Amino acid sequence: MLLTAAPTALAEVEWTAREAAHQRRMDTWVAPHAERRRTGVAHPVLDFLFTYYSETPGRLRRWHPGVGAVLLGDAARERLTWPLYAEVDVRGADGGVVRGVGLDVPAFLAKRRAAAGWVEGLLGATAGRAGQFGCFGMHEWAMLYRPEDGEVRHALPLRLGQAGTDAVVEAHKVQCSHIDAFRFFTRAGVPRNTLRPTRDTQQDLEQPGCLHATMDLYKWAYKLSPATPGELLADCFALAADVRELDMRASPYDLTAHGYAPVAVETPEGKAAYVAAQRGFAARGAVLRERLLAVCRDLLDAG
C-alpha cells in the first residue's frame, strides 16, 4: 500500500524509545491496578478508570504512533499481527520508496468511519460552546438523593449522612448536561434536574466545563485507537484520573479513610475550590479535544 499523503517516517530507535516511555508512564496507573486485582482490594476512586471505561490495561500499555506515522525497522513487523496495521510505503528523502508499518487507514474507515464522524461531531460541538461552571458537582449528589432499594452505587459512608445529603440536593439547582451522569440519578433525583439529556441530544448539550465530558476525552481517545497516538491517549488518561479524584472528593462520600480530603461543595469555600479546579480541567481538556479532533479529521480526510 502506498500513502499518497506525506506520512511521518519514524526510525526504529525513535519509536521504540517512545513506546518504552509510554509503557513506563501507563504503568503508573496500570501496575497498582493489577496489584489490587491480584489481592482483591477495591479502590473507590481509581477502579472507575478500569471498570466504567472499557479499555483493558494491556491495551492501555500498547503504544501506537497514530494516523499519519509509519514505523521503520524490523521490530515494526510484529505489528502486522495487530488489528488495523498494514505495510505502508513512504518516500524517503532521496525520492525512493521505503516500506514500513502503520495504520491501515482504509480498513479502519471501513469499520469505524461512522464512529469517527460521530466523535468528530461531538468534540467539535463541545469545543464550540462556552463552559458552564455553576453545577458544583451536584450530579454525584443527585445519584444518592432519596435512594430506593438498589439505587446506592457505592458501599461508602456519607459525609453528611442521608438526611444531610438530601438537604444539600434540595438547597441547590441541579443542572447536569451529561447523559452518562444523568442516567445514574435516583428516581427521586431525575425530576430535580433542569435538563433531560439523552443519547440523541448529547451533541446538543455536552459542554467543556462538565467533568464527565472532560473525563470522556479518554474514552474517545481509546475508541479511536490505534489511530490515536500513544502520547495523546496517555495525556487523556492522566486528565481523567485527575478529574475523577475531584469528582469523588466533591461527592457526598467520606473518603478520608482512603486519603482523600473532601471538597465540601455545600460551603462557599468548597464551591470556589471546585470551580477553580473545574476551570483548570476545562483548559487542559480544550487542548486535548483539539488534538483528538485533529485525529478525526486526519482519518476522515484520508478517506
| 208 preceded by a cis bond (ω within 30 of 0) | no
What value does the mean pLDDT of the chain take?
95
- The string of pLDDT tens digits covering residues 225-259 is 999 999 999 999 999 999 999 999 999 999 999 99
How far apart are the C-alpha atoms of 20 and 294, rounded to whole Å?
25
* Alpha helices (H) along the chain: 12-39, 48-51, 57-60, 105-127, 138-142, 161-170, 179-182, 202-205, 211-223, 230-249, 268-302
Can you give the pLDDT at residue 189? Answer: 97
Can you give the pLDDT at residue 91? Answer: 76
SS3 at position 63: coil
Place of cell 476551570: 279
How far apart are the C-alpha atoms of 138 and 211, rounded to whole Å?
11
pLDDT band, residue 96 (cuts 50/70/90): confident
- What does pTM read for this prediction? 0.95
Kindly state the percentage of the chain with pLDDT values over 70: 97
Cβ atoms of residues 292 and 221 within 8 Å: yes
SS3 at position 80: helix
Can you give the pLDDT at residue 93? Answer: 65
pLDDT band, residue 2 (cuts 50/70/90): very low
Q: Nearest CA to 154 among 250, 252, 54? A: 252
> Which whole number is the average pLDDT over 185-210?
97
Res. 1: pLDDT tops 70: no
pLDDT band, residue 6 (cuts 50/70/90): low
